[in-house]
Amino acid sequence: MTKTVTTTPYTDQKPGTSGLRKKVPVFQQQNYAENFIQSIFDSLEGFAGKTLVIGGDGRFYNREVIQIAIKMAAANGFGRVLVGRGGILSTPAASHVIRKYEAFGGIVLSASHNPGGPTEDFGIKYNIGNGGPAPEKVTDAIYAHTKTITTYKIADVADVNLDAEGEQDVAGMTVQVINPVSDYAELMETLFDFPAIRAHLAGGFRIVFDAMSAVTGPYAKEILENRLGAAKGSVLNFVPLPDFGGHHPDPNLVHARALYEEMMGDDAPDFGAASDGDGDRNLIIGKGIFVTPSDSLAMLAANATLAPGYAKGLAGIARSMPTSGAADRVAEKLGIGIYETPTGWKFFGNLLDAGLATICGEESAGTGSSHVREKDGLWAVLLWLNILAVRKESVIDIAREHWTTYGRNYYSRHDYEEVDSAAANGLMDALRAQLGTLPGRKLGDLVIETADDFSYHDPVDQSVSNNQGIRILFVGGSRVVFRLSGTGTSGATLRVYIERFEPDAAKHDVDTQVALADLIEAADTLAGIKERTGRTEPTVIT
């Protein structure tokens, strides 16, 4: 019933920021998925008879790889698999299920905000027992195994019926197909004041949520419409589709443009939001105002005690290094810790487990808290709704009051996608080579104060992560950050982060790109972006 299959290694299975991501045709190569899954199991110890959680975002090839993973889990000695009905589990829901049922770990099948379809993106990520992404020591071990693998084990049995909740036997291992939404929805009810939100919605407060034909649809439909009473039709594109309806499931101002335009209209709803492919990112737009992810993190942290789950206060706030310093000012005022980590949610896990941080966020539209060990798009939406229900103010009023209190961090990210990898690496190498000579250099009215390649020293396990992004800090608090993203599947994505702190409330209504114009020009001058990439403008500006 269990067979051992001979295989040969692939050389390109190094996990990135969030697991292994490649185009679907790459994963469809003979034994490609099997090799990586076996390498995950070969990197782990002590899982015999234990529980494994498996689920994904419903993208193309999701069901096929789930069948493979279930059969391989049985052959490798797991005692139980929990899998979402239809193969569906949002990334934050998978994290919660791992934690609630004390599973050994989980395999999450997603390429997050990347497109889906027969020629688009797919991904496999392993999450450890705390519900969070595997740390680098585990992903490094997985990669090492992929380079030497010679065999994999798989149960030679029929496919599991993923559409019927209940238990099935697979080669002596129990497979339990679970409702993918219920556990997560119940968790949200323990964190937020559902009666207050329900009353606010019943009083005429209008919302719109674009699930982008991705995994959050069933969750948003159940929570926002069924449990909170939002008007039917408030949740758009709520059926997860293998190709996300042909759209790019990234909740930003480019790919969720229709939502943005609706929220800027004369008869706009009071609150608009969207989530991404696997449900871990969020977009927040109030009537007449887009709230940047960096500002959203700061505003959520500043108001978190209005929600029952956070009424006792926050232990600390953690943010990725490229995320703006807006949250730092909130932490300072609250008298709590602030932690600056590399990009990648796995770096927040130790801080959360150690009780050092309660709320975490990344500028790339990811926000979350200690309730799970992943970023959580719908959680952020619900916390915003809880705050709005209690304060009974508009999003724009809350934002303006926040900026008046803390100052405004004008902030933008310029992405140059699918840049030639050699050109992108050459740009970063050239920047590193001149770091020592940059302090004191003038670029117009800007003066460089310091420049470095960010290194992170984990305060919990003392591990060190080097080369996490080049930071150029200017006199007065402005900065530019350069890094290459680890989430793409073609070429390289150069991300340039531009930030200016403005304490003067009289200057808080300037267009962001105008407010940052001199820093944008300085970034191009320092890195030679146009010259080295051949791009005259970014692919995406957020």
Dist CA 438 CA 431 (whole Å): 10
The C-alpha angle with vertex 524 and arms to 417 and 257, in degrees rounded to 5, equals 45
Cβ–Cβ < 8 Å for 357, 339: yes
Dist CA 501 CA 274 (whole Å): 27
Cβ–Cβ < 8 Å for 385, 519: no
Which runs of consecutive H residues, i.e. helices, occur in 119-181? 136-146
Of the candidates 414, 378, 401, 393, the one whose C-alpha atom is nearest the C-alpha of residue 184 is 378
What ranges make up the beta strands (E) of 7-90?
20-23, 51-56, 80-88
User: Amino acid identity of 294?
Assistant: S
**Dihedral, 317, 321, 323, 324 alpha carbons, nearest 10:** 90
Of the candidates 428, 424, 477, 480, the one whose C-alpha atom is nearest the C-alpha of residue 451 is 480
CA dist list (Å): 275 to 40, 218, 439: 29, 12, 40
Q: Is 200 exposed, middle or buried (0-12, 13-18, 19+ CB in 10 A)?
A: buried
Please give the helix or strand (H or E) that residue 497 lies within, else none: strand 492-502
Dist CA 126 CA 20 (whole Å): 9
Dist CA 263 CA 265 (whole Å): 5
Q: Which of 39, 90, 112, 234 is catalytic?
A: 112
Task: Give the contacts of 198 (CB within 8 A, at least 6 positions apart).
Answer: 228, 229
User: Amino acid identity of 15?
Assistant: P
Dist CA 532 CA 390 (whole Å): 50
| Terminal C-alpha separation, the chain | 52
- Facing residues of 465 across strands? 456
Q: Please give the full DSSP string across 181-196, using - where no structure is assigned.
A: THHHHHHHHHHS-HHH
The verdict on whether 275 is a catalytic residue reads no
Tokens representing residue 342 in the block:
């590399």
Please give the helix or strand (H or E) that residue 263 lies within, else none: helix 257-263
Query: How many CB atoms are closer than 10 A to CB 236?
Result: 17
Query: How many CB atoms are closer than 10 A to CB 144?
Result: 14
Cβ–Cβ < 8 Å for 290, 253: yes
- Could you list the active site residues? 112
